[in-house]
């Protein structure tokens, strides 16, 4: 027996829960020690009136605050939900290694709610750290693992891929299996989940509401209107770097995150169209060669070579770098070659991978704004040869992550993932040999 459900927050504001099909809904309540989701209670009361199963979650900002502060903030702002909803800790902030912090939060909220909270995290985070103390406390696991970012309709899990494989927990309570779920009655992407239990099992997680009073002191902070949101210019940088996908996937992900796709795409187009095939770039504070390469869609080692920069690859603010149009660090010839587009590819990502300016690729294939490509498309790569690239490998060590490996090697970590067929949640294992 299982239940099907969704998890939502202010990004789904205006959604009519009465128009969609679900057994349970998990709603964002708080974040850090000063943020309350303004749409939480309206969603909560609607779901309650419909007789649906409910959870409420807190997004941890653990690098900035103590577990006690954040648990107190969650308890203070969700006291009316005790005995009516499962409390959940959303564990995906910058530092996921502080297991002791998570355990303290879970224990403190357990005391107030009189039930065992769940903890939410990705499969890779589960397997990266030692969660034995949390498992010993009998706290349930809600785990995220997506096969891809293609739409999945009305809880059809035929393309969900394999279930999560985790350490420490012998079973998982819930699986968030897609972030691109589509349900009749709502026009947009949704996180969809499966709960491995029946109604009685859900109620057991909720408990009877007989917690004990927790001294949370007197609040000295005022709620923030919302967490800091990135500017359109910052998001445009991420789009160019390939972090928001391509085509409809890009639009869906941006709109689901509350951004105006058209405004951001306009900025992206302006930047793309203003960048010549061969150009210069003035180094800004905080820049790295790999970051510049990712932004411009050019192999960072080609930039280094064109500017006579060698190990340790030092650059300085104000330095004017020549950006090569298509040199590569491989043993390629100057003849054109082809590349077959894979799921998740973008022109800038392909360009960086092959050491060819993305605009040269676009021009060679007659691709114009908004620069849409599709899986399976064969692209002509000007001046490149994808079949004779010299391959280097890196052997994964204990504690490694893709982002840390990329930083160590001076290579964009997403390129490493793409070259090795690794997709979200980007799991790697000790001893694995990665091409880069």
Judge whether 213 lies within some domain: no
Q: Got the DSSP string for 223-264?
A: PBSS-----HHHHHHHHHTTTT-SHHHHHHHHHHTT--HHHH
Residue 106: its pLDDT value, please?
A: 97
SS3 8: strand
Q: What was the pLDDT predicted at 208?
A: 85
Round to whole Å and give the CA distance between 337 and 353: 14
**378 has pLDDT over 50:** yes
Closest CA to 170 of 146, 191, 196: 196
- Say if residue 302's pLDDT is above 50: yes
Tell me: do 370 and 290 sit in the same domain: yes
Nearest-angstrom CA–CA distance, 44 and 223: 19
pLDDT-derived band at 227 (thresholds 50, 70, 90) equals: low
| Residue 221 belongs to some domain of the structure | no
User: Over the stretch 39-55, which tens digit does the pLDDT of each residue have?
Assistant: 999 999 999 999 999 99
The span from the CA of 164 to the CA of 141, in Å, is: 11
DSSP state of 170: S
Check if the beta carbon of residue 290 is closer than 8 Å to that of residue 413.
no
| Residue 344 DSSP code | T
Q: Are residues 161 and 179 both part of a single domain?
A: yes
Does residue 75 carry a pLDDT above 90? yes
For position 297, which CATH number holds?
A: 3.10.350.10
**95, part of any domain:** yes
Question: Quick one: 401 and 366 in the same domain?
Answer: no
- Contact between residue 30 and residue 73 where contact means Cβ atoms under 8 Å apart: yes
Q: 3-state secondary structure string, 286-306? A: CCCHHHHHHHHCCCHHHHHHH
pLDDT of residue 220: 45
Pair 412, 381 in one domain: no
In a shared domain, residues 377 and 433: no
Please tell me whether residues 240 and 182 are part of one structural domain: no
Q: What is the pLDDT of residues 243-300, one digit of tens each?
A: 777 667 778 778 777 788 888 888 877 766 555 545 678 888 888 887 787 677 677 7
195 & 256 share domain: no
Domain-located, residue 215 = no
User: According to the model, what pLDDT value does residue 411 have?
Assistant: 67
Residue 367 host element (H or E): none
pLDDT of residue 292: 82
Q: How many domains does the chain have?
A: 3
Within-domain flag for 227: no
| Residues above pLDDT 90, as percent of the chain | 43
Mean pLDDT score of the chain: 82
CATH number at residue 174: 3.20.20.80
Looking at the structure, do residues 107 and 245 belong to the same domain, yes or no?
no
Same domain, 347 and 268: yes
Q: Are 185 and 205 contacting, i.e. CB atoms less than 8 angstroms apart?
A: no
**In terms of domains, do 120 and 267 share one?**
no
pLDDT category at 65 given cuts 50, 70, 90 is very high
Q: Give the per-residue pLDDT at 233.
A: 84
Same domain, 151 and 53: yes
Judge if 294 and 175 occupy the same domain: no
| Position 223 in a domain | no
SS3 content of the chain, % helix, strand, coil (to 5): 35, 20, 50
Instruction: Choose between 301 and 154: higher pLDDT.
Output: 154
For tokens 């991420």, name the residue.
Answer: 238
In this structure, is residue 211 part of a structural domain?
A: no
Look up residue 373 and give its two tokens: 């490509």
- Is there a contact between 56 and 36 (Cβ–Cβ < 8 Å)? no
Judge whether residue 120 has pLDDT over 80.
Answer: yes
| Residues in a beta bridge with 24 | 5, 53
Q: Which domain holds residue 257?
A: 232-390
Residue of 16 and 274 predicted with greater confidence: 16
Residue 214, domain member (yes or no): no
């Amino acid at each position: 027996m299982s239940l099907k459900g969704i998890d939502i927050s202010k990004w789904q504001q205006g959604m009519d829960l009465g128009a969609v099909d679900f057994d349970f809904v998990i709603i964002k309540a708080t974040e850090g020690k000063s943020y309350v989701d303004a749409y939480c209670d309206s969603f909560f009361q609607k779901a309650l009136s419909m007789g649906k199963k409910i959870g409420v979650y807190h997004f941890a900002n653990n690098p900035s605050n103590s577990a006690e502060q954040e648990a107190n903030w969650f308890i203070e702002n969700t006291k009316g939900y005790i005995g009516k909803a499962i409390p959940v800790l959303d564990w995906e902030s910058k530092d996921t290694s502080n297991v002791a912090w998570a355990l303290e939060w879970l224990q403190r909220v357990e005391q107030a709610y009189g039930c065992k909270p769940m903890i939410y995290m990705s499969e890779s985070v589960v397997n990266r750290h030692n969660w034995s103390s949390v498992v010993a406390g009998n706290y349930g696991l809600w785990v995220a693992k997506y096969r891809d970012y293609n739409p999945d309709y009305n809880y059809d899990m035929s393309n969900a891929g394999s279930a999560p494989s985790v350490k420490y927990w012998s079973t998982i309570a819930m699986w968030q299996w897609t972030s691109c779920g589509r349900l009749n009655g709502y026009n947009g992407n949704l996180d969809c989940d499966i709960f491995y239990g029946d109604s009685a099992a859900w109620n057991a997680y909720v408990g009877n509401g007989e917690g004990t009073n927790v001294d949370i002191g007197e609040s000295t902070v005022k709620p923030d209107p919302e967490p800091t949101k990135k500017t359109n210019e910052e998001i445009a940088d991420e789009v160019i770097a390939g972090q928001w996908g391509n085509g409809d996937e890009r639009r869906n992900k941006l709109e689901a995150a509350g951004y105006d796709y058209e405004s951001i795409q306009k900025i992206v187009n302006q930047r793309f169209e203003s960048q010549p095939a061969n150009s210069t770039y003035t180094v800004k504070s905080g820049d790295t060669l790999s970051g510049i390469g990712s932004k411009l869609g050019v192999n960072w080692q080609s930039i280094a070579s064109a500017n006579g920069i060698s190990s340790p690859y030092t650059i300085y603010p104000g330095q004017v770098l020549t950006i090569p149009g298509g040199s590569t660090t491989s043993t390629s010839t100057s003849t054109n070659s082809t590349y077959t587009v894979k799921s998740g590819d973008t022109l800038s990502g392909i360009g960086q991978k092959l050491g060819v300016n993305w605009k040269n690729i676009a021009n060679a294939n007659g691709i114009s704004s908004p620069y849409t490509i599709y899986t399976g498309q064969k692209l002509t790569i000007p001046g490149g040869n994808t079949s004779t690239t010299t391959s280097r490998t890196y052997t994964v060590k204990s504690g490694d992550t893709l982002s840390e490996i990329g930083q160590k090697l001076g290579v964009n970590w997403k390129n490493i993932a793409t070259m090795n067929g690794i997709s979200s949640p980007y799991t790697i294992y000790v001893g694995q040999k990665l091409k880069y």
